[in-house]
């Protein structure tokens, strides 16, 4: 009987070790399956995150390019308006220069006319003063001649 018990205990021990080996194998397989699922989930997550990031970055790049294009249009409009304003200013300066030249010519002619008129007036005044002096002298002679006769 002791032999049977020994064999039974050996078979139970081997069954126990087989059970624990089986349990260990099942646990390893479950762990491996869980690890594989975790890795698959990570890969899926990383793939979707990468796609979302690329989509977001693409949208941001597109928005940036649109903003850049808008800024270029605004700058081009500014340059065109500035050039048009500069052209208008140049036209005004040219008109001002022509007006200044006309005024300068007119002023020179007027000045020459005033000088000529001043010389004629001066000659007239000198002639008038000479005539007045002659009249005063003649009047004085007449008075003297009349006072000698009296």
Q: Which ranges constitute the DSSP H helices of the chain? A: 2-149
| Predicted model pTM | 0.45
Which band of pLDDT confidence, cut at 50, 70 and 90, is reported for residue 17? low
Average model confidence (pLDDT) for the chain? Answer: 88
Residue 119 pLDDT exceeds 80: yes
Which band of pLDDT confidence, cut at 50, 70 and 90, is reported for residue 4? low
Average pLDDT over residues 107-116: 95
Q: Which is it for the CA torsion 32, 35, 37, 39, positive or negative?
A: negative
* C-alpha distance from residue 21 to each of 9, 15, 32, 37 (Å): 17, 9, 16, 24
Residue 2 pLDDT exceeds 70: no
Average pLDDT over residues 40-60: 88
Average pLDDT over residues 69-74: 97
Q: Please measure the distance between the N-terminal and C-terminal CA atoms of the chain and give it in whole angstroms.
A: 210
Over the stretch 75-92, which tens digit does the pLDDT of each residue have?
A: 999 999 999 999 999 999
Which band of pLDDT confidence, cut at 50, 70 and 90, is reported for residue 146? confident
């Amino acid at each position: 009987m002791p032999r049977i018990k020994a064999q039974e205990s050996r078979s139970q021990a081997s069954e126990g070790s087989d059970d624990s080996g089986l349990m260990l194998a099942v646990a390893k397989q479950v762990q491996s399956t869980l690890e594989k699922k975790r890795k698959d989930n990570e890969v899926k997550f990383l793939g979707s995150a990468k796609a979302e990031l690329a989509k977001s970055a693409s949208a941001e790049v597109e928005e940036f390019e649109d903003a850049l294009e808008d800024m270029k249009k605004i700058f081009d409009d500014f340059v065109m308006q500035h050039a048009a304003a500069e052209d208008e200013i140049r036209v005004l300066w040219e008109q001002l220069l022509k007006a200044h030249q006309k005024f300068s010519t007119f002023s020179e002619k007027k000045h020459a006319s005033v000088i000529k008129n001043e010389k004629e007036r001066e000659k007239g005044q000198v002639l008038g003063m000479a005539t007045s002096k002659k009249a005063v002298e003649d009047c004085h002679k007449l008075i003297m001649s009349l006072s000698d006769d009296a």
